[in-house]
Structure formats: C-alpha cells, structure tokens
Chains A and B, each alone.
Chain A
C-alpha cells in the first residue's frame, strides 16, 4: 500500500485478448468479437500493466510497479493506472473483485 488508502478492489485481465510485442509495437488483439476493433497498440507502460494484470492486483500494486520502473510520482502513477483500467473496462478486457479485508 503506497497511497495511504486501503484498496478494496482487485483487477485481472481477461483471456479474450492476446498480447504480443511485435517489431517494437505492443499489440493487444481482440479475439473474435465483431463489434470490437481488431487490435490496439499499447504504450510500454500499458504493456507493463497488462503483464502485471495476469494475476489479481490492486491499483496500488500496479502503481507501485510503475513507480519502481519509471520516474513518476505515486499520485500520477495511480491516476495513470486508473485511466488504463477504465480503458480496459470499456474493452471488456479486465475483470474485478472485492478484496476481503
């Protein structure tokens, strides 16, 4: 916990997307879904978060990963993580659950 708050939600990526680093591009490919765009390009930061979302993690834990990897404040890292999670939510690429206290 780096924010002073207790995270009550964990997130994990769903398996309806496939990630691949291809010739310098971080690609996120949507498995067959007619209404979606076929693929998205992630930033290196997004790719790092996507990798960490392979298991259940909180926003704080993801922010910690960014802080340890990049020169970014905790505040900004949390904001970036939340925005990224929101975007993945719109794509139905992430699930969430409550954390037992």
Chain B
C-alpha cells in the first residue's frame, strides 16, 4: 500500500448508482433512498467498501433528492462557522444546512432529521453537473455518522487503528499527533490499517470494538474492518518510547475532547460519556510517548510501560 503525505493524494473516482445505496460504519447502517423516481447517488470509490446490501436493517433512512433548497426560518441553534448551521424545533427535529464550494459560500445540502434520528430527508442543491445525490459529501456524511453513533453505543474519534492478531490498537490524537505516522509504521510491521485518521468506537454486548472509516488521513485504501479493542493510546511524540497509563477518569476526559461532534445534544453527551466510561473500564488507556520507529509500535502492542521490558 502506498502512503502519501497528508494533502497529497490520488484523485479518487466517483461511482454513481441508479438505485438506493446503504452504507455501514461499525454497526451503524444508513440507507439513502430516492425521494422521487430517477434520483441517482454517487460516492467516491474510497467509500465503496462501506456499501452493504439495501435489505440490511438501517438505523437511519434518508429520503433523498436533488432540488433547490427551501428557505429556512427560525433561529439557528448551533453554527459551525461557515460550514453548517443547525436548527432544532420544539419537538427535537433538526434541520442542518451544510455549505460547500469556494469559501463555503454555497448552501449545498439540507438535512432534516426526526427527533429520534430514525428517518430524515436529504436535499442536495443542483450545484453539480451530474445531478446525483452525493451520499458521501463532506462534512455531511461524517456529521451524520458522528451524531448517530452517539445514539447507538458508539463514538467517532480522531484516531488511527492497527489490527494485529485480530485485536485493535487505537492511536488517538489531533492533527499532527502522529496518527498516520504510527499507522505507517504499524503497517510496515504487518498490521492491517482500516483507518489512519478517524476511528469508530463501539461497545455492544459489553464488547469494545474499533472500526475503520473512509475519512481523511493519508491512506489511499480505507476499510470498514472492525476488531476487538485491545488498547488505546494518546499519542505524544517524544525522545524515547514509554507508556504512561491513564486512570479511568482522566482517560474519559482525554478521549472525549478528541471525539467528533459529541456536544450537540444533551442526550448525546450523556450517552457518549457512558460509552467512554464502559470502554475505559474494560481496556487499558495510556499515553504513548514515542519516536517514529517500529520499537514504539512494538511497545504499544506489548502494552508494557518501558521499551526495555519484554
């Protein structure tokens, strides 16, 4: 596998479908259905591995179309600066407008979700020549998945994941922490890397899992693969390699601030913290002080506190 520096990637091909599509992230399934006959869907080829059969039980069903966006009234509940605005009505239903194009100056998607986040409507403005609904649009899809995971025993975190002996080792950090670097080293040591930038965490039936995602990072291939979570590390570049175990309380806080969109609804905050509580009580979390060498990755797999320990 070729690993390129951040921001230097091959332009991937877009794949267009004349039928509904469903995408899966961890256990979460999102179904994109046509709101009117003839609606087509497109995704980048990096997302193709995340397709599942359309008869897969969906957690969220979106009726989709390409059409002019309707004007919205009412106050904005939350705004993410230029990229999106969220309006929440008195019943808990939400409408989010995502912007794109130059300087985020164009309203591109209008997403309406019912209060339970079971059903919604997605309208894409007719800004692209092929007039297909871009199911993987950024930040649309990542936003949907992050919000839904909070309600389905999961979370989306800034982290790369290495799978070794069917166990997942998750390396957490904001941009520049070394997620892709440790992933590259891990891959050279034989690990499988389903993601080097965004990891889905789940805990179902008391079993913590980590899963790949299609977003960001430097890897050309992305994988939906998941594995039983063995250990989590906060990355800290250093002059030597060592593990610093984190007590559960601090681990929850450190992980929480590295999640994607966990703070948009009180219920999601509570559920997300509960997920992290359950995870840190079951698997070790530590700071990995590391140099970019295979020895650091080997230390992470062993889980000992010193590079000298065996």
A22 touches B273 (CB 8 A): yes
A18 to B273, CA, bound (A): 11
Contact of B263 among A22, A24, A30 (CB under 8 A): A30
Contacts of B257 in A (CB 8 A): 38-39
Contact with B along A33-68 (1 / 0, CB 8 A): 010001101000000000000000000000000000
B273 touches A20 (CB 8 A): yes
CB distance from A31 to the nearest CB of B (A): 5
A29 to B271, CA, bound (A): 13
Chain A CB count within 10 A is highest, among B250, B252, B263, B274, for B263
| A86 close to chain B: CB less than 8 A | no
Residue ID in chain B nearest A20 by CB atoms = B273
| B19 close to chain A: CB less than 8 A | no
A29 to B281, CA, bound (A): 21
Contact of B248 among A23, A27, A29, A41 (CB under 8 A): A23
| B80 close to chain A: CB less than 8 A | yes
Contacts of B302 in A (CB 8 A): none
B interface majority secondary structure? helix
A39 touches B253 (CB 8 A): yes
CB distance from B238 to the nearest CB of A (A): 25
Give the A-B pair count, Cβ closer than 8 A.
52
CB distance from A15 to the nearest CB of B (A): 7
Range of interface residues on chain B?
A: 20 to 34
B277 touches A22 (CB 8 A): yes
| A25 close to chain B: CB less than 8 A | yes
Contacts of A25 in B (CB 8 A): 249-250, 252-253
| B81 close to chain A: CB less than 8 A | yes
CB distance from B274 to the nearest CB of A (A): 8
Residue ID in chain B nearest A24 by CB atoms = B249
Residue ID in chain B nearest A31 by CB atoms = B263
A24 to B247, CA, bound (A): 10
| 19 new A-B contacts at CB < 8 Å, known A20-B270, A22-B276, A39-B256 | A18-B266, A18-B269, A18-B270, A20-B269, A22-B273, A23-B248, A23-B277, A23-B280, A24-B249, A27-B273, A29-B263, A31-B266, A31-B269, A32-B78, A32-B263, A34-B80, A34-B81, A38-B257, A39-B253
Q: Which residues of B contact A (CB under 8 A)?
A: 78, 80-81, 248-250, 252-253, 256-257, 263-266, 269-270, 273-274, 276-277, 280-281
13 pairs, CB–CB < 8 Å, chain A vs chain B? A18-B266, A18-B269, A20-B270, A22-B252, A22-B276, A23-B249, A23-B252, A24-B248, A25-B249, A27-B273, A30-B263, A31-B265, A31-B269
